[in-house]
Structures are given as C-alpha cells and as structure tokens.
Amino acid sequence: MYFDEWLTRPTKGNTVLRDYRDWLESELKLLGNASHHAYSFGQANMAKRALERLDDELSKNVYVPIERPDAMAALTALEMLAQQNTTLDPSIAALRDRIRTALADQAPPMKA
C-alpha cells in the first residue's frame, strides 16, 4: 500500500498523520502565494522539508495504529508466548521488544 493511499483510507489511527500532512500542504500553498516576502519563502521551505521528511519516515517504517490497551494486551500475550516457548522466532521477539519500548516511551510522566 502506498503512503498516499494509506493516508486517504478512513481509519481512526491515521487521522493525525493525515491531518498533519494536509496542514503542511495547505501551509505550503498559502506561503507559496506570498513568496515575495522573505519570511514566507523560508516558512514554505520548512513546510516542504517537513512533508519530505514525513514521507521519507513513513516510507521506511510500518505504522500500525493501535490503542494503548490493545498494545498492552498484545505485549502480555507475546510475553506469555515467550514463557511457554523459550525459543521465540527473532521477528516475534523483536516485535515484543518494540511494543515494550513504545509503551515505555509513551508512558505519562510521574507527578510529584
């Protein structure tokens, strides 16, 4: 599936990326119309680079929109599988580790 095709499919998880990309494109068009101002030209270049970076990042990675409770349940199931079978396929082990890392990275900060 191509990136643009993924963005246009109506799913709950890809709304933020689609909205971000649409916003960047609208900024690029708006700023392109005011290109006679040096500031607008710089802002248009930044929006263009942001679009290119987003497209590049999404072309290298597969993003699976999954809600936190579902990710936690999948991680639990993968950890239980690892306990039952000590020789997990490396791809399954990598998936488990990446889900664990993603959940830890997105944990809300502790309040004092």
Query: How many Å apart are CA 107 and CA 112, to the nearest integer?
Result: 15
Which helix H or strand E contains 36, and what residues bound it? none
What is the C-alpha to C-alpha distance for residues 37 and 64, in angstroms, rounded to an integer? 40
Cβ–Cβ < 8 Å for 96, 75: yes
- Which residue, chain included where needed, has tokens 């004092």? 112
11 domain-assigned: yes
37-96 pLDDT tens trace: 666 667 777 777 888 888 888 788 777 888 899 999 999 999 999 889 878 899 999 999
User: Taking the model in full, what pTM does it have?
Assistant: 0.53
Residue 54: C-alpha distances to residues 22, 51, 59, 86, 89 (Å): 12, 5, 8, 38, 31
Over residues 6-21, the mean pLDDT reads 59
Domain with 73 in it: 68-105
The count of structural domains within the chain is: 2
Residues 32 and 9 in one domain: yes
